[in-house]
C-alpha cells in the first residue's frame, strides 16, 4: 500500500499530503503551513515540553521549513535532469562510473535519517549525460520518504528508462538512524543495496568490473 508523504505546494506557502507513487501531482489533501506547524507544536507538547518557552517558540515554523527542504523531491521530476544529452563522445562505449554521491534521506517507517553514499554507473548506447545530472537524480529520489531498496531501484530504473543505455548499476551504502539510534541500536550497522539492469545484470564481466571500481579508494 502506498504510504502518505508531505509535499510542498506550488505556491510555496502550503504543504500537500499525497501518495508517494513516484508520480507527481497525485494530490489528496491540502494542508496549510499553519496546520502543519500546529501538528509539530502538538508533538512537542506530547513529549513533555513547553512550546511557550523561548527556545521552542519558533521551532514548529523552523521544522516545517526544514521539512520543505528534506522532502523537496516530491516537487521535482528526475526525468527532466536527464533530458539534455550529448552524442559527441567520440564513440565512447565503456561504462561511466560516478562514485561517492552523498545521500541524505529519511526512512518512511520512523522518519529517521538515512545517510550514506550512492555509486552510479551506466554503459552508454549512443548518448551521454552530464555527470552532475546523475547526482541530481539521486538527490530527487533521496529527498522523499524512502526505503533503501526502493531508492536504489528508482534511481536505476529512471536512468535506464530515460537514457536507454546498454546497462545501469546502482549501489547504495548507508546508515539508518532507525537502527543506530533506536530499537536494536547497532551503531556500526550499515546497509548495502544493489540494482543491476541490462548488461550489468546479464554480463558478469561488467558487473565485476563495476564492483571493483567502487571498492577502490
Annotation marks residue 178 as catalytic = yes
**What letter does residue 121 receive in the DSSP assignment?**
E
- Residues 6 or more apart whose CB falls under 8 angstroms from that of 167 comprise 95, 122, 123, 196, 197, 198, 199, 200, 201, 202, 203, 206
For the chain, what is the mean pLDDT?
A: 89
Model confidence, pTM: 0.86
Could you say which of 34, 57, 75 is where a domain stops? 75
Same domain, 163 and 69: no
Same domain, 188 and 210: yes
Strand order in the sheet with 4-8: 4-8, 14-19, 27-32
How many other β-carbons are positioned within 10 Å of the β-carbon of residue 62?
Answer: 12
Q: Tell me how far apart the alpha carbons of residues 31 and 46 are, in angstroms, rounded to a whole number.
A: 21
Range of the domain at 164: 78-215
- Among 146, 148, 154, 207, the active-site one is 148
Same domain, 191 and 140: yes
Same domain, 11 and 103: no
- Among 37, 176, 195, 207, the active-site one is 176
Annotation marks residue 3 as catalytic = no
Same domain, 115 and 126: yes
> pLDDT by residue (tens digit) across 167-181?
999 999 999 999 999
Residue 13 is predicted with a pLDDT of 44
Q: Tell me if residue 6 falls in helix, strand or coil.
A: strand
Could you say which of 75, 105, 127 is where a domain stops? 75
Same domain, 90 and 176: yes
Annotation marks residue 109 as catalytic = yes
- Among 76, 104, 164, 178, the active-site one is 178
Counting the structural domains of the chain, the total is 2
Same domain, 115 and 161: yes
> pLDDT by residue (tens digit) across 34-91?
999 999 999 999 999 999 999 999 999 999 999 999 999 999 999 999 999 998 788 8
- Among 49, 104, 108, 164, the active-site one is 108
Residue 217 is predicted with a pLDDT of 59
The CATH number of whichever domain residue 137 belongs to comes to: 3.30.1130.10
Same domain, 50 and 91: no
Could you say which of 23, 48, 75 is where a domain stops? 75
Annotation marks residue 195 as catalytic = no
Annotation marks residue 106 as catalytic = no
Amino acid at each position: 500500500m502506498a504510504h502518505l508523504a508531505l509535499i510542498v505546494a506550488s505556491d510555496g506557502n502550503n504543504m500537500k499530503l499525497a501518495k508517494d507513487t513516484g508520480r507527481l501531482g497525485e494530490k489528496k489533501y491540502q494542508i496549510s503551513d499553519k496546520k502543519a506547524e500546529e501538528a509539530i507544536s502538538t508533538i512537542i507538547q506530547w513529549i513533555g515540553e513547553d512550546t511557550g518557552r523561548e527556545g521552542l517558540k519558533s521551532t514548529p515554523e523552523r521544522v516545517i521549513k526544514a521539512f520543505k527542504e528534506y522532502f523537496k523531491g516530491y516537487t521535482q521530476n528526475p526525468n527532466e535532469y536527464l533530458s539534455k544529452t550529448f552524442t559527441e563522445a567520440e564513440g565512447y562505449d565503456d561504462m561511466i562510473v560516478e562514485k561517492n554521491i552523498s545521500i541524505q534521506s529519511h526512512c518512511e517507517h520512523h522518519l529517521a535519517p538515512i545517510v550514506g553514499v550512492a555509486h552510479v554507473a551506466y554503459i552508454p548506447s549512443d548518448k551521454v549525460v552530464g555527470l552532475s545530472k546523475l547526482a541530481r537524480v539521486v538527490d530527487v529520489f533521496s529527498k522523499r520518504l524512502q526505503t533503501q531498496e526502493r531508492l536504489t531501484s528508482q534511481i536505476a530504473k529512471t536512468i535506464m528508462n530515460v537514457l536507454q543505455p546498454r546497462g545501469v548499476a546502482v549501489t547504495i551504502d548507508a546508515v539508518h538512524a532507525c537502527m543506530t539510534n533506536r530499537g536494536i541500536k547497532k551503531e556500526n550497522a550499515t546497509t548495502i543495496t544493489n540494482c543491476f539492469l541490462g548488461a550489468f545484470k546479464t554480463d558478469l564481466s561488467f558487473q565485476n568490473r563495476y564492483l571493483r571500481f567502487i571498492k577502490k579508494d
